[in-house]
Amino acid sequence: MKLLFELSGEHPDLPVAEVGCIGQVLARAPQVAIAECPTPGDAIRLAQTHVVMEYLGECHGDGDSFSSLLRDLSLTARQPFACRVKRIHPAILPESKTDLERMMGTLIDGNVSLTSPLEEYRAIFSDGTCYLGRVMYHIDRGSYAYRNPMRRPFFHPGVMMPLMARAMVNLTYVQPGQILYDPFCGTGGILLEGAIIGARVAGSDIDQSMISGYRDNLSNAVCLRADTCQLPLSDASVHAVATDLPYGQSTSIKATSLERLYEDSLSEIRRIMKKNGKAVVVTHRDISPLAKEYFTIDHAFSQRVHKSLTRQILVLT
């Protein structure tokens, strides 16, 4: 089924890459993606998406073209419906949002309900094009705020927020029932998001206090105290890896240096991953040359967190 995605504006490229975990991306524009998705219900796992729609069509972003598109489609609403228009900066609307929504309501056959609609048609104007869809899901991003790390039984400063942790999990393409492993699991935030989508999660850390906290945060957690340079796992034993590598010398490590830790960790991640598995690795600096010694780089993203920290995110196969 062809789906239309209204994406968040938190990063120009990462949300599109995340859509790839549920389907084949066919086209994109600023904060918009179109993808062919065999199982549309999988879209609810996305973190960098606001709205998921059945793709109905697209046209040039002017009023006459939009009117012609609606007339050509001859849409009939099955239930009381509402119409919404979204402008993605720097798109310029051909008319006011209210006028465009009124036009949609006139040209779509059915009963308009502004107070209690059961269907929603959404037009997105982005980069000179109008994209039209029938809403299937509004992603509940508020649930991620509810899982704020400070609300967990065990908290440690500097942990990754749930929206980013879920995006990392999704970028591994891990499926329900498959094994997701985090060799620097810390308080377990990444693995918590993996467990929510149905993956079998396991982690390890060199710091015993982190392991204890991880077990407090995830019931029935599988967690090992282990040196990531020598993981106690069999070859090709996990489907996917998602991890946030240590950033500072104050971090508890056994390796002689962070450079040695990174190199040995990447080698071990390569060893334990199944063929065609994906690893998503976050660091504070670009380790692409080192990663290329063990992996193919599918994607590389930079994300500024604050003035002293820019995340480097690598998706590796």
Tokens at 315, concatenated: 């998706």
Residues 192-206: what's their mean pLDDT? Answer: 96
Main-chain phi, psi angles of 211, to 5 degrees: -60, -45
CB-based contact 153:217 (threshold 8 Å): yes
**Tell me, what amino acid is at 296?**
T
Q: pLDDT tens, 56-92? A: 999 999 999 999 999 999 999 999 999 999 999 888 8
Q: pLDDT tens, 101-152? A: 999 999 999 999 999 999 999 999 999 999 999 999 999 998 998 898 888 8
Residues 241-257: what's their mean pLDDT? Answer: 73
Residues 17-21: what's their mean pLDDT? Answer: 98
Tokens at 181, concatenated: 């492993």
SS3 category, 268: helix
Is 0.85 surpassed by the pTM of this model?
A: yes
pLDDT for res 249: 46
Domains of the chain: 2-138 (3.30.2130.30), 146-316 (3.40.50.150)
Confidence at 219, pLDDT banded by 50, 70, 90: confident
SS3 category, 144: helix
Confidence at 309, pLDDT banded by 50, 70, 90: confident
pLDDT surpassing 70 at residue 184:
yes
Confidence at 250, pLDDT banded by 50, 70, 90: very low
pLDDT surpassing 80 at residue 199:
yes
Three-state secondary structure readout of 103-136: HHHHHCECCECCCCCCEEEEEEEECCEEEEEEEE
**Tell me, what amino acid is at 246?**
P
> What does DSSP say about strands 200-205 and 223-225: parallel, antiparallel, or unpaired?
parallel
